[in-house]
Amino acid sequence: MSTGATGAQEVVLRLDRITKRFGALLANDAVSLELKRGEVIALLGENGAGKTTLMNILFGHYVAEEGQVEVFGTPLAPGNPRAALAAGVGMVHQHFTLADNLSVLDNIRLGTESLWSRGQGRAAARARVADLSRDFGLAVHPEARVGSLSVGERQRVEILKALYREARILILDEPTAVLTPQETEALFETLRKAIARGLSILFISHKLHEVMAIADRCVVLRHGKVVGEVATRTTDRAQLAALMVGGEVAMPKAEARSPGAVRMRFAGVSTPDRGAAPGLKALSLDLRAGQITGLAGVSGNGQAALADLVSGLIRPGSGMMELNGVPVAGWTPRAAIGAGVARIPEDRHKTGTIADFTLTENAVLEGYFRPGFSRAGWMDWAAARRFAESIIGAYDVRCPGPQARIRLLSGGNMQKLILGRVLEPGPEIILANQPVRGLDVGAIAYVHSRLIAARDQGAAVLLISEDLDEVQSLSDVIHVISEGRLSPGFARGAMTPAELGLWMAGQGFDHAA
Amino acid sequence: MRLEPVANPSLARRLGYPAAALGATVVIASLLALLAGAEPFGTLGLILQGAAGSKFAALETLNRATPLIFTGLSVAVAFRAKLWNIGAEAQLYAGAIVAVLLGTGALGSPLVLPVSALAAMLAGALVLLGPVLLKTRLGVDEVVTTLLLNFIMLLFVSYLLEGPMKDPMGMGWPKSAALIKEARLPRLVEGLRLHWGFGLALIAAVLVWLVQTRATLGFEMRAVGQNAGAARFAGIPVNAVLVKTALLSGGLAALAGWSEVAGLKGHLSLDLSPGFGYTGIIVAMLAMLHPLGVVVAALFVAGIFVGSDAMSRAAGVPTYIADMLLAVALLLMVLAILLTRFRVVRG
């Protein structure tokens, strides 16, 4: 970046010894931070490090026990969400806060101007939005309905909204999580233009290569404390990663293997669209024993339909689905489990577990009716508890015990219990849908090593992920899904991220078809 | 202000708030009595005396609790699976109709009691089967259908009592013929005015508790109620579980009507139930849907019913004071239960 911090610059945002407790948990421990004019700071940290809490304090959703927030030298009133907006702080949330049924222009004006004025006010607003989108390279049609926009375009609307409200400080929460590599580059271009106009940016992320590309300084949070503050020029990814997790973590590597027989085959399978999300379009795919098949793609391009199909939640609308060479019949979740399909769902909180059930109950959620866990319709809870205890031991689930409610567990430990539940029976096919989303580095390494071990024992693994790095590091063969269509399979290392990014953006399919 | 869940409520917390609710109820009861021009002090004594002060009063409370245990269990079973059965009243009357159909001479053998009990449960189950199939097949809201069925059933009973089921010896009153002796539930203890329905209700509570905690069906019902999406993903047949839940819930509510006819009244009339089906919802909520808690809650509600009735007679205040007192007591108890599990925090 061109605008290095040069000592005497004006401080636009100052967080001064912010401390926030939730019960016994110290979410923020005397966190201090100074953002200067024209500067980009990356706020780094694992899930649960306190980044979100800090942002919620800045935006008045929480009140800190100690410390204060200053914007342009003026203390911000605590607990007032409008104060930050009025002081010129704009936030682009990870989950967009747009009204799908309104136009881009109305979304931008929503909350600041009356939408009833159809005349001059609207025309003026439209002109201003047009200026802003030209100046900042945020191409989006002002009259388009937000519901019809892509995720990248919606993010542009969010940024436009902040700029329209004359934000001088932009806070972006995990802005690249939903973007293709190309869209990410376009976003960075916009941010550079914003910096050139004197805006300041706080960029929350855990993707280190992006942080290195855009930030001037990195502030690293761990367990609620600032554990490091380094200029990007003087550091590297390894040092930042070590700061984030407090030590080195070796990421498992998948060695190439020769694949075995086809376990699950899709031939020309289509499923109906679901609202805005496309269904599958004549998808053909082989899942082979001893092979990890990676599915890359921007979220909402048909991954959910394929995952539901493998899970047994839906059946093919048309086309053929085979299991070990036999067409599936009466395909349901229970049939899938019975056929040896291990399913790691995308949302472990909502789909994978029942929050108020104990670890024991969650451990037998799929197998409670089997002879080992019940007899003639009555549960054998002692056997269920032994099963839960064996998972807790074998999969290193950190928990108060098998009778604790699973909602008390961290995401990583919850995922380990799910892993144990589905891997213990020795599956032939494994569906891993976003298996490490929201996990810390240690848990990610653990989940990945388990998936690789299962592959080495002959399981056919389907890995669905929006994280291209994850897909590339684990997969033996990579497909890209876009608009419900599947790319050809690419061997490990055959494609660069940029090439895959083009497929993710929907290019290449026309030539391949 | 917002509510924050308390992870592990202490014993003091769990006993303190309900005790405070009872205390507040007494204070409000005294004020109500004062307003009505009666002696404000001693209302609690009058209520307690009316509910449990004599053998007669205590048995009256147990008799009154019997249908409430059945309807409370019915609601607790359904609500546990998030099946919003508001129609226990209709299912209750379905059971009562069967008790009359089979108990007035159609069956004469000693088998009449078990057969009519099972038939009553089946009838109640069928009444709830319609709404639950509409829910699982077409997504029709069961709150609406089960609620409206209550009124349909009441009108149907009215038709039966004015027509086909009318007692020819009833001197024109809209009531059914009396049950034959073999169809009546015997006394629980010889010489005491308490019928076997109460014993059956206690047994039912224990059985429901065992099913919920030990049976695979209970596990399925709890899983569907807590998180239907996760249950479906895990392979639990959600719709089939809802249908089984409905059959059990409808059957339990029907036993309330059956035992009122076969144990207490001996015939069917339109005033068989002063809203036992609806009160069952309150009982189940007070019990936090726990089957054994339902027994305690039903005794509490029945005690307030019977006791405040007696109080209004003894203190010479209008009977609506008793109704108000009942409502106040229930609201305060629900609030107390909420406060044992959540604390109020500012900001």
Which residues on A lie below 8 Å from B226 (Cβ)?
354-357
Say yes or no: A334 contacts chain B, CB-CB below 8 A: yes
Give the closest residue to B51 by CA, choosing from B332, B324, B301.
B301
Predicted confidence at residue B67, as pLDDT, reads: 97
A103 vs chain B: nearest CA distance in angstroms?
Answer: 32
Is B222 in Cβ contact with A351 (below 8 Å)?
no
B265 vs chain A: nearest CA distance in angstroms?
Answer: 38
A350 vs chain B: nearest CA distance in angstroms?
Answer: 6
Which residues on A lie below 8 Å from B231 (Cβ)?
354, 365
Which residues on A lie below 8 Å from B222 (Cβ)?
357
Summary mean pLDDT of chain A? 88
| pLDDT of A391 strictly over 50 | yes
Say yes or no: A79 contacts chain B, CB-CB below 8 A: yes
Structure tokens at B316: 């010479």
Can you tell me the distance from the alpha carbon of B185 to that of B197, in angstroms, rounded to the nearest whole number?
7
At residue A7 the predicted structure's pLDDT band, cuts being 50, 70 and 90, is very low
Predicted confidence at residue B313, as pLDDT, reads: 82
Fold of A262-340+426-512: Rossmann fold (3.40.50)
Predicted confidence at residue A119, as pLDDT, reads: 65
Which residues on B lie below 8 Å from A354 (Cβ)?
223, 226-227, 230-231
Which residues on B lie below 8 Å from A363 (Cβ)?
none
Partners of A173 in the beta sheet?
A204
Can you tell me the distance from the alpha carbon of A415 to that of A345, in angstroms, rounded to the nearest whole number?
10
Structure tokens at B156: 């149907």
Structure tokens at A497: 């991220």
Q: What chain B residue is nearest to A334 in terms of C-alpha separation? A: B235
Is B234 in Cβ contact with A379 (below 8 Å)?
no
At residue A3 the predicted structure's pLDDT band, cuts being 50, 70 and 90, is very low
Predicted confidence at residue B201, as pLDDT, reads: 97
Does A262-340+426-512 match A9-88+168-248 at the fold level? yes
User: Which DSSP symbol is given to A412?
Assistant: H
Give the closest residue to A8 by CA, choosing from A37, A46, A50.
A37
Phi, psi of A327 (to 5 degrees): -60, 140
User: Position of tokens 């607003």?
Assistant: A125
Burial of A92 (0-12, 13-18, 19+ CB in 10 A): buried
Residue A32 carries which side chain, given as an amino acid letter?
S
Can you tell me the distance from the alpha carbon of A158 to that of A90, in angstroms, rounded to the nearest whole number?
9
Is B222 in Cβ contact with A357 (below 8 Å)?
yes
Is A355 in Cβ contact with B216 (below 8 Å)?
no
Is B219 in Cβ contact with A361 (below 8 Å)?
yes
| pLDDT of A370 strictly over 60 | yes
Say yes or no: A1 contacts chain B, CB-CB below 8 A: no
User: Position of tokens 């995720």?
Assistant: A151
Q: Of all residues in chain A, what percent carry a pLDDT higher than 70?
A: 95
User: Which DSSP symbol is given to B265?
Assistant: I
Q: What chain B residue is nearest to A373 in terms of C-alpha separation? A: B216
Is B232 in Cβ contact with A333 (below 8 Å)?
yes
Which residues on A lie below 8 Å from B234 (Cβ)?
333, 365-366
Q: Decide which of 3.40.50.300, 3.40.190.10, 3.40.50.12780, 3.40.47.10 is the CATH code for A9-88+168-248.
A: 3.40.50.300
Give the mean model confidence (pLDDT) for residues A173-177: 81
Predicted confidence at residue B203, as pLDDT, reads: 97
Can you tell me the distance from the alpha carbon of B245 to that of B235, in angstroms, rounded to the nearest whole number?
17
DSSP letter string, A347-386: -IIIII--TTSBHHHHHTTTTTTSTTTEETTEE-HHHHHH
For chain B, what are the domain ranges?
A: 74-276
Residues of chain B with pLDDT under 50: none
Say yes or no: A353 contacts chain B, CB-CB below 8 A: yes
Which bin fits A484, alpha (ψ -120 to 50), beta or left (φ > 0)?
left
From A77-86, A305-314, A364-373, the region with the lowest mean pLDDT: A77-86
Q: Say whether A219 sits in a helix, a strand or coil.
A: strand
Angle in degrees, 0-180, between the axes of helices B88-103 and B238-259, rounded to the nearest 10: 60
- Alpha carbon of B83 to those of A415, B116, B120: distances in Å? 30, 27, 21
Which residues on B lie below 8 Å from A60 (Cβ)?
none
Q: Among B216, B229, B347, whose Cβ lies nearest the Cβ of A351?
A: B229
Give the closest residue to B91 by CA, choosing from B70, B111, B114.
B70
Predicted confidence at residue A513, as pLDDT, reads: 43
For chain A, what are the domain ranges?
A: 9-88+168-248, 99-166, 262-340+426-512, 359-425
Give the closest residue to A112 by CA, choosing from A79, A82, A145, A75.
A82
Structure tokens at A344: 């790691």
Is A332 in Cβ contact with B235 (below 8 Å)?
yes
Which residues on B lie below 8 Å from A334 (Cβ)?
235, 237
pLDDT tens, position by position, A319-355: 999 999 999 999 999 999 999 999 999 999 899 999 9
Cβ atoms of B202 and A333 closer than 8 Å: no
Is B216 in Cβ contact with A379 (below 8 Å)?
yes
Structure tokens at A251: 């990421």
At residue A118 the predicted structure's pLDDT band, cuts being 50, 70 and 90, is low
